[in-house]
A and B are shown apart, each in its own frame.
Chain A
Amino acid sequence: MADEALFLLLHNEMVAGLYRAAEQGEGENGRCTTKLESMGFRVGQGLIERFTKDTARFKDELDIMKFICKDFWTTVFKKQIDNLRTNHQGIYVLQDNKFRLLTQMSAGKQYLEHAPKYLAFTCGLIRGGLSNLGIKSIVTAEVSSMPACKFQLQLTSVMSMCRKMIRPARRYKDITKTLEEIGGCWILLVTTFV
C-alpha cells in the first residue's frame, strides 16, 4: 500500500535530517535520540486516541499489551509482533523478527551500529500509546541482528503497583503504610475489601 512508503521515507529523512543538523551544530548525538523519542511519544499519544475510539475497554495490562502487539502493530507496521514475553511483574519483551523500519537497511550485522537511531521513534510511539492508555512505561530497544529487534517495556500502572505491594505485605498495617506513602485515599478504601 502506498501509505507505507510515505511514512517509511519520512521517518528515514527525519532521522537523517536530525543527525545531520546535530553534526553541523553542537555535535551532540545524544539529544537526537531524545528528540526522536519525544516526537514518537507525541505521535503515539495522538494515534492511540484515534485508534481506540470505538474499541471495548481493556480488562487488564495483558489485554493492553496484546492489543499493542496485534492491532496496533498491524496497523502501523502491517504485521503483528512475533513474540511477546513477560514476567507478569510489569516487564514485557516484544520481539519483531522483521521490523519494517529496518528491513530495507540490511539483513544481518551490517550497519548494526546505526540501528538504534531508527528505533528511537518507535520506542516513543509505544511509550506514548501506553501513556494515553494509563500506563507509564520505560521502553528500550535492542538489535542483535537486523531486521529482528526486541522492545523491552517496563510498565508501572497504578494497578500493578498496588498488586506488587499487596502480595508480599501480610499485615494490614504494612499495606496501609505503603499506600499512604504513595498517597490517595481511594486506594485505601479499595484495599479494605481485599
Chain B
Amino acid sequence: MSRPPGRKQDSHKISRELFVLTYGALVAQLCKDYEKDEDVNSCLDKMGYGIGIRLIDDFLAHSDVKRCRSYSETADMIAQVAFKMYLGVTPSVSCSSAAGNEFSLILDKNPLVDFVEELPVERASLCYCNLLCGVIRGALEMVHLAAEVTFLQDKLKGDAVTEIGITFLRKTEDKKAKKK
C-alpha cells in the first residue's frame, strides 16, 4: 500500500488528537463522578501536578535548554519551548507585576478544547484545562521554583482569550548549576 505524502504529519496530528480526546473523556468521567465543579477542578489540578513532576524530565531531556537566569526567562521558556513542544502552540507572555514575579500566558488557540463546543450549563465554573495549571506547577516545583498557576481568563467561559497566570512565590536563593 503506497503511503500518500504528509503521512508523518497525519500521524503527529492523530497522536495529538489521541491526547485531546483522552483528556476530554477524562473530564467527562470526572464530571460524572463529582457533583461539584471545585472537586473536578482540584482533581484535574492534582493529576496535572503528577504529570508535571514527570514531564519536566522529558522536557529537559528533549530540549537543549540552558539554565534560566530570571523569572521572565523561565516564563518565556515555558511559552516558547515547552508549549510548542507538547501542544504545538506558542502563547504570548506578558509580565503583569512591577516586582517581576507575575506573568501571564495568553493562548489564542488552545488545542485541548478543539473538540469542545461549550461547557454545559450546570458546569459553569468548571476549569476545563485545569490540568495545564497542575502540569506547570509540578514542573516548576521540580526545578525548585514554587509557583501558583491559575486560569485568569477562559474562552470557554466567554472571555476573549485564554489566559494562564503564573505567580512565582518566593525569591530563590543561589541557583546551583544543574549537571545534566
- Chain A residue nearest to B50 in the complex (CB): A13
Q: Once the chains bind, are B54 and A9 in contact (CB under 8 Å)? A: yes
Whole-angstrom CA separation of A18 from B47 in the bound complex:
10
Range for the number of chain B residues in contact with chain A: 20 to 34
Range for the number of chain A residues in contact with chain B: 20 to 34
Q: Once the chains bind, are B19 and A10 in contact (CB under 8 Å)? A: yes
Known: A2-B62, A2-B85. A17 touches B28 (CB 8 A): no
**Is A166 an interface residue when CB atoms closer than 8 A count as contact?**
no
Q: Once the chains bind, are B51 and A13 in contact (CB under 8 Å)? A: yes
Q: Once the chains bind, are A74 and B29 in contact (CB under 8 Å)? A: no
Which of A3, A5, A43 has the most C-beta atoms of chain B within 10 angstroms of its own C-beta?
Answer: A3
Q: Once the chains bind, are B29 and A9 in contact (CB under 8 Å)? A: no
- Chain B residue nearest to A20 in the complex (CB): B46
Contact of B14 among A14, A39, A47 (CB under 8 A): A47
**Is B155 an interface residue when CB atoms closer than 8 A count as contact?**
no
- Chain A residue nearest to B14 in the complex (CB): A75
Known: A11-B22, A43-B18, A76-B18. A21 touches B33 (CB 8 A): yes
Per-residue 0/1 for B1-45: is the Cβ within 8 Å of any A Cβ (1 yes, 0 no)?
Answer: 000000000011011111101111110110001000000000100
Per-residue 0/1 for B36-68: is the Cβ within 8 Å of any A Cβ (1 yes, 0 no)?
Answer: 000000010011001100110010001000000
Q: Once the chains bind, are A6 and B43 in contact (CB under 8 Å)? A: no
- Across the interface, which residues of B come within 8 angstroms of A75, CB to CB? 11, 14-15, 18
- Chain B positions within 8 Å of A, measured between CB atoms, are 11-12, 14-19, 21-26, 28-29, 33, 43, 46-47, 50-51, 54-55, 58, 62, 85-86, 115, 131
- Chain A positions within 8 Å of B, measured between CB atoms, are 1-7, 9-11, 13-14, 16-18, 21, 35, 38-40, 42-43, 46-47, 50-51, 74-76, 121
14 A-B residue pairings within 8 Å (CB atoms): A4-B15, A9-B51, A14-B47, A21-B33, A21-B43, A39-B29, A40-B25, A42-B25, A43-B25, A46-B17, A50-B14, A51-B14, A76-B15, A121-B22
